Amino acid sequence: MKYGIVGCRGRMGVEVERAFGALGHSLVLTSDLEGVECRERPEVLVDFSSHAALAGTASLCREHRCGLVVGTTALKEEHFSLLRALGTEVPVVQSFNFATGVNVLAMILKDYAPLLSDWDLEISETHHNRKKDAPSGTAILLREAAGRDCPTHSLRLGGVPGDHTVCFGNDGEVLTLTHRALNRSVFALGALRAAEFARTARPGFYSFRDVLKKSVEES
């Protein structure tokens, strides 16, 4: 697969290049604050940079007619509108978290949280002290999957890649669901899975859960 990275010098850009390169995929386009370098037409772009770069990324996708995997956080409605519009032309996979376990947790919440609608619900998340947005996009994703608003707590400590805990409780029981990312490679491997999907998918705006469901259908 021929791919490009937007934000190639960032922490996740480096992880993506390592994960893709280990499987022999070819990095043919790189983009950072210094500009764009393109050797060949990419089949898919991977963007973990900044929402400020998203319009430029969309332009690159249109120029090269390639799919997009975007893991940028702190997106607002204007950014989602841009991605949905791009999805009418090329396949776009967007997620705030490309770890498989987090997305399985979101699916569990969507299916079963309604059974606990009369329980208290709170979400907590912990990330490294350089993360700017709070609550995290993943915490928002989990809250939306649970189907109701709830208190959400954010901690910024050291170099934690990402911990998320969803806690339900009533007078007699407490149910705690936790996902812990042990390193950033899990996000890069998820992005690889999404890129393989976007490489052949029809134009559309997809979530990583769509990617996981498709892999189950094909297994």
For the chain, the DSSP string reads -EEEEETTTSHHHHHHHHHHHHTT-EEEEEEETTEEEESS--SEEEE-S-GGGHHHHHHHHHHHT-EEEE---S--HHHHHHHHHHTTTSEEEE-S---HHHHHHHHHHHHHGGGGTTSEEEEEEEE-TT---SS-HHHHHHHHHHTS---EEEEE-TT--EEEEEEEE-SS-EEEEEEEESSTHHHHHHHHHHHHHHHHSPSEEEEHHHHHHHHHHH-
Question: Does residue 127 have an active-site annotation?
Answer: yes
Q: Which of 131, 132, 164, 214 is catalytic?
A: 131
Bridge partners, 31 (sequence order): 6, 36
Which of 51, 64, 79, 127 is flagged as catalytic? Answer: 127
Active site residue 64: no
Separation of alpha carbons 8 and 6, rounded Å: 5
Catalytic residues: 127, 131
